[in-house]
Chain A
Amino acid sequence: MRRIGAVALRELRSYFSTPVAYVFIVIFVAMSSALTFYVGGFLQRREATLEPFFMFHPWLYLLLIPAVSMRLWAEERKTGTIELLLTAPLTTAEAVVGKFLAAFAFVAVALAATLPMWVTVNILGSPDNGVIAGSYAGSLLMAGAFLAIGSCMSALTRNQVIAFILAATVCFLFTMSGLDLVLDAVRAVFPPVFADVVASLSFLSHFGSITKGVIELRDGVFFLSMIVFWLFATTVAVDLGKAR
């Protein structure tokens, strides 16, 4: 546990060692609010809800999360520090979890920076704060799932740009799989069960039900199991990748 903490702390420090981290947070807050007001029509709705705010999170994460996760392993491999990390007395899984937690904490900070939105909507009206709290939790979990995918993609290469593109692509597939556009295409080719499977893997549909106030255990479990699965895949990729 302490070793995971040491890895996480080092990683988190390195996030904040450059201005990039602060720029990232500013961009996240600015874009999520801009989308809410201009595209989501927050004010025109005349109702106290943060749905137009959360609705854009999957799309924001699609671009921003790969930028957070791309360096996790690619950089270690490029600079060779992975050799220091993995010859220290900790398992690969501990290193993977430690790094993931750092990225997760970083995204949590960025998300927390949007809390003034919550305050604003309470000033303007009386929203269902339970739904908002659930949506924040759901958004954080979804970010975690995106990050876990990104961490795995980062472990596949030593080039951060490639890691970014791979992560964005895979995240895109997992987000899009909920759209009717995609599902119709799947239905046209495969038996209907496939469409159900594809739809059930969609981040969009799981997150959508959370933000609509349908807080169900299975959506949380979905994101959690996504995180576990992709972190496991990361561990395998790191172990296989270090010999080359």
Chain B
Amino acid sequence: MRRGGKDESGLATDFPAITVRREAPVDAEATRKSFNEMSEMIVLDRLTKRFGALTAVDAVTMRVAKGEVLGFLGPNGAGKTTTMRMIAGFFEPTSGSAAVCGFDVVHAPIEVKRRIGYLPEGAPLYGDMRCDAFLEFAASIRGFSGAERRRRIDRVVEMVELGEVLARSIETLSKGFKRRVALAQALLHDPDVLILDEPTDGLDPNQKFHVREMIKAMAPTKAIVVSTHILEEVEAVCTRAAIIARGRLVADGTADSLLARLPHHNHIVVGVPQAEAPQAAALLRTLAAEDVAAAGGDVDGVATFSIAVDAIDGGLPAVAHHLKASGVTIERLYLERGRLDDVFRNLTLGADGEARP
């Protein structure tokens, strides 16, 4: 998966010039920019990451507000994980900046990390630990101890339904349970910001549903970024979607605003038997303000027409009414909203139709 200066087993050879960035000696609170809690929980400003010649993330600028669930989409290798790693403080940006709750990820990394719950890609875990021991570790490292730690662990164990595997060694768990353990770790401290890299990957349909419900329930009090390849998930849980391709942000908006980019978004689709096509075409022409061409052509003896809903007075009911009145057989009649998959394809396939490896 990872390419660049180093292979699976070798030494890291090409270290860049040594720059040791110590933590800023100044009080972290002092470096905090005043920030509007409602609109600027996460602020990315021309955030860029290069690996040698490869620009993995290219000047990404966006904001996530409290109450938002941002769906982060993009083909494999687009730079989603790299972006999330920079927000979570694992990678340092090459240029540009990222701030969480007003704290810059480079200058106040600890303050940022305190406020983030992070589920890394692939949910890496200490396989040799027992599930409960791991959660205890995750809680201790976040400064919880004693009864408080117990209470927090109990809470997340219930949230992600881990009770039955607590006493088992993590490496013996199934993939879905591992993901749930990693999710539990991210929720322990009830963070203001959640960064979840493919949280539902490997979960069964029930658990997918459960995790989505959980995200929706937490959304009002947090800013959440979820990367995913499942586009239905975006419509199910996200208030907004951002699409990234080859490191660049190519779209950012609500699912509806993204769908509106499709040429056939909000079109009425009418299907009639081929024999009645001329009659239907004539009728539709009188209804529509614009010209109506047979769109779908002949499929199994059915001719389809597609007309923008805005072009017709009275919309879909009017079309149905007139077709019925003139005795045309209606094989199909529906409002086409378009699919996010199509938006995704249009935006992320380059001229050569190839996604980056």
Contact with A along B279-306 (1 / 0, CB 8 A): 0000000000000000000000000000
Contact with A along B76-105 (1 / 0, CB 8 A): 000000000100111110000000000000
How many chain B residues touch the partner (CB < 8 A)?
Answer: 46
- B181–chain A nearest beta-carbon distance, Å: 11
- B184–chain A nearest beta-carbon distance, Å: 12
Asked if B220 is at the interface of the complex by the 8 Å CB criterion, the answer is: no
The answer on a CB contact under 8 Å between B5 and A14 is: no
Name the residue on B nearest A7 (C-beta): B141
For the complex with contacts A83-B90, A84-B124, 12 further pairs of A-B residues with Cβ separation under 8 Å are: A14-B126, A81-B126, A84-B182, A86-B89, A87-B88, A87-B116, A89-B113, A89-B141, A157-B11, A159-B8, A239-B21, A243-B92
The answer on a CB contact under 8 Å between A91 and B23 is: yes
Contacts of B4 in A (CB 8 A): 244
- A38–chain B nearest beta-carbon distance, Å: 37
**What is the CA–CA distance of A236 and B16 in the complex, to the nearest angstrom?**
11
Contacts of A244 in B (CB 8 A): 2, 4-6, 12, 51
The answer on a CB contact under 8 Å between A241 and B128 is: no
Name the residue on A nearest B115 (C-beta): A89
Asked if B118 is at the interface of the complex by the 8 Å CB criterion, the answer is: yes
* 10 pairs, A vs B, C-beta closer than 8 Å: A2-B143, A10-B137, A14-B129, A81-B125, A88-B142, A89-B113, A157-B11, A235-B20, A240-B16, A244-B51
The answer on a CB contact under 8 Å between A157 and B122 is: no
Asked if A17 is at the interface of the complex by the 8 Å CB criterion, the answer is: yes
Beyond A157-B11, A244-B5, is A86–B128 a contact (Cβ under 8 Å)?
A: no
- A151–chain B nearest beta-carbon distance, Å: 15
Interface-central residue, A79, A156, A240, A244, by most chain B CB under 10 Å: A244
**What is the CA–CA distance of A158 and B182 in the complex, to the nearest angstrom?**
22
The answer on a CB contact under 8 Å between B128 and A6 is: no
How many chain A residues touch the partner (CB < 8 A)?
Answer: 35
Q: Which 10 A-B pairs have the closest CB atoms?
A: A80-B124, A6-B140, A89-B113, A159-B9, A83-B120, A244-B6, A6-B141, A89-B114, A87-B88, A10-B137
**What is the CA–CA distance of A236 and B18 in the complex, to the nearest angstrom?**
8
Asked if A3 is at the interface of the complex by the 8 Å CB criterion, the answer is: yes
**What is the CA–CA distance of A7 and B126 in the complex, to the nearest angstrom?**
12
Name the residue on B nearest A155 (C-beta): B12
Asked if B314 is at the interface of the complex by the 8 Å CB criterion, the answer is: no
* Chain B residues numbered 43-93 whose CB sits less than 8 Å from any CB in chain A: 51, 85, 88-92
**What is the CA–CA distance of A18 and B128 in the complex, to the nearest angstrom?**
9
Contacts of B127 in A (CB 8 A): 79
Contacts of A235 in B (CB 8 A): 20
CB < 8 Å: which of A13, A18, A84, A159 contacts B125?
A84
The answer on a CB contact under 8 Å between B12 and A81 is: no
* Chain B residues numbered 1-31 whose CB sits less than 8 Å from any CB in chain A: 2, 4-6, 8-12, 15-16, 18, 20-21, 23
The answer on a CB contact under 8 Å between A157 and B10 is: yes
- B14–chain A nearest beta-carbon distance, Å: 9
Asked if B355 is at the interface of the complex by the 8 Å CB criterion, the answer is: no
